[in-house]
């Protein structure tokens, strides 16, 4: 998935009714609009605005609680009649992988872990996966011959790129009639 596909997972249905507003939210929105009308070009300092809203809120919150109750009724009526669009699932289905596709290359760290994991398991057979992973990470930090694993990773990547190229050629050849 690329970034735009990931972001599309979080886009909500534009036809779905907006949630009911809290009394305080309604009050703050009204107060902000009033201040903008009085001083359209003024920059509103958030801290001062919040303190001012808080002080006013204590005095007149009952009126806004009534407005919020009405807004909640509106929301409940709209949500009862709301039908989400067909086929728009909350989660996108995972793309099926071709079992014949070449596996991605291992990183230098994973190649190191492949060599070191049996040693760690032999020393600490009672450790769980997380503890073993922490030990492997610590050993990787202390590793003196990283260049060996980096070279192996580069070779793995080159092998993978060739395999992908061959896979794409064979796939293109098998799809054409």
Long-range CB contacts (within 8 A, 24+) of 26-34: 26/64, 26/67, 26/68, 26/71, 27/53, 27/56, 27/57, 27/60, 27/61, 27/64, 28/53, 31/56
pLDDT for the residue 107: 93
For the chain, what are the domain ranges?
Answer: 3-81, 108-175
3-81, what's its fold?
Answer: DNA Binding (I), subunit A (1.10.30)
Burial class of residue 136 (count of CB atoms within 10 Å of its CB; 0-12, 13-18, 19+): buried
pLDDT for the residue 8: 52
pLDDT for the residue 177: 52
pLDDT for the residue 16: 76
pLDDT for the residue 98: 82
pLDDT for the residue 106: 92
Successive 10-residue mean pLDDT values, the chain, 177 residues? 50 73 83 85 82 85 82 88 70 76 92 93 93 93 92 94 90 66
CATH number of 108-175: 1.10.30
pLDDT tens digit string along 56-108?
Answer: 888 888 877 888 888 888 888 888 888 877 765 556 677 788 888 889 999 99
Q: 177 by DSSP, 3-state: which?
A: coil
pLDDT for the residue 124: 92
Same fold: 3-81 with 108-175: yes
What pTM, to 2 d.p., does this model score? 0.46
pLDDT for the residue 1: 43
């Amino acid at each position: 998935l690329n970034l735009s596909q990931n972001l599309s997972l979080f886009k909500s249905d534009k036809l779905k009714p907006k949630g009911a507003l809290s009394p305080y939210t309604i009050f703050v929105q009204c107060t902000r609009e009033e201040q903008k009308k009085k001083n359209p070009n003024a920059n509103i300092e958030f801290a001062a605005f919040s303190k001012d809203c808080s002080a006013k809120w204590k005095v007149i919150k009952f009126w806004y609680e009534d407005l919020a109750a009405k807004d909640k009724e509106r929301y409940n009526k709209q949500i009862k009649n709301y039908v989400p669009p067909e086929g728009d699932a909350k989660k996108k289905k995972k793309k099926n992988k071709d079992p014949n596709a070449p596996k991605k290359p291992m990183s230098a760290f994973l190649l190191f872990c492949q060599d070191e994991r049996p040693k760690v398991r032999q020393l600490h057979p009672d450790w769980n996966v997380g503890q073993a992973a922490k030990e492997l990470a610590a050993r990787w930090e202390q590793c003196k011959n990283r260049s060996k694993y980096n070279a192996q990773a580069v070779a793995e990547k080159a092998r993978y790129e060739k395999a992908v190229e061959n896979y794409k050629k064979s796939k293109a050849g098998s799809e054409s009639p």
